Chains A and B, each alone.
Chain A
Amino acid sequence: MKKSKIVSLVLITSALAACNKPKPNWDSNEVYMRSDSTANYTHTHGAHVPLFLWYYAFRPYGMFYGNSYHHAGYYSGGVSRNSNIGSSAAKSAAIRGGFGGSHSFSVSS
Chain B
Amino acid sequence: MERISIYARNNWQAAVEKLGFGFHTADIPYWKEDAYYEFTLAEVTLIEKATTELWGMCLEAVQHVIDHRLYALFAIPERAFPLIEKSWNEDAPALYGRFDFGYDGTQLKLFEFNADTPTSLFEAGIVQWFWLQDFDKSRDQFNSVHEKLIAYWKYLKPYLFDGPVHFACVKQSLEDLTTTEYIRDCAIQAGLETKLIFIDDLGWDAARKVFVDMEDQEMKNVFKLYPWEWMVKEPFFEQMLQQQQMYWIEPAWKMLLSNKAILPILWELFPNCPYLLPAFTEAENTLKSYVKKPLLSREGANVQIVRNDFVTAQTKGIYGAEGFICQGLFESKSFHGIVPVIGSWVIGQEPAGMGIRESESLITDNTSCFIPHLIKG
Residues of A participating in the B interface, judged by any CB pair closer than 8 Å: 1-4, 7-13, 15-16, 19-20, 49-50, 52-53, 56, 59-64, 69, 75, 77, 90, 93-109
A98–B142 touching, CB < 8 Å: no
Chain A residues positioned under 8 Å from B122 (CB to CB): 12
A12–B19 touching, CB < 8 Å: yes
Chain B residues positioned under 8 Å from A13 (CB to CB): 18-20
B293 CB-CB contact with A under 8 Å: no
Chain A residues positioned under 8 Å from B230 (CB to CB): 102-103, 107
B93 CB-CB contact with A under 8 Å: no
B201–A96 touching, CB < 8 Å: yes
The one of B147, B184, B234 that contacts A98, using a Cβ cutoff of 8 Å:
B234
Instruction: Please name 7 further chain A to chain B contacts, defined as beta carbons within 8 Å, in addition to the given A12-B20, A97-B200, A102-B230, sorted by A numbering.
Output: A9-B20, A12-B126, A60-B214, A69-B215, A98-B204, A100-B202, A106-B173
| Minimum distance in angstroms from A94 CB to a CB of chain B | 3
The one of B200, B205, B366 that contacts A99, using a Cβ cutoff of 8 Å:
B200
Residues of B participating in the A interface, judged by any CB pair closer than 8 Å: 17-22, 44, 114, 116-120, 122, 126, 129-130, 140-144, 146-147, 168-178, 181-182, 184-185, 188-189, 198-207, 212, 214-217, 225-227, 230-231, 233-236, 239, 258, 298-299, 353, 366, 375
The one of B17, B168, B366 that contacts A108, using a Cβ cutoff of 8 Å:
B366
B299–A108 touching, CB < 8 Å: yes
A9–B212 touching, CB < 8 Å: no
Given contacts A1-B375, A60-B214, contact A107 B227 (CB under 8 A): yes
Q: Give the docked Cα–Cα distance between A7 and B133 (Å).
A: 11
The one of A1, A11, A77 that contacts B181, using a Cβ cutoff of 8 Å:
A11
Chain A contact surface mostly? loop
| Minimum distance in angstroms from B216 CB to a CB of chain A | 4
Q: Give the docked Cα–Cα distance between A108 and B118 (Å).
A: 7
Q: Give the docked Cα–Cα distance between A96 and B197 (Å).
A: 12
A2–B141 touching, CB < 8 Å: yes
Q: Give the docked Cα–Cα distance between A93 and B215 (Å).
A: 11
A108–B119 touching, CB < 8 Å: yes
Chain A residues positioned under 8 Å from B181 (CB to CB): 11-12, 15
Chain A residues positioned under 8 Å from B19 (CB to CB): 9, 12-13
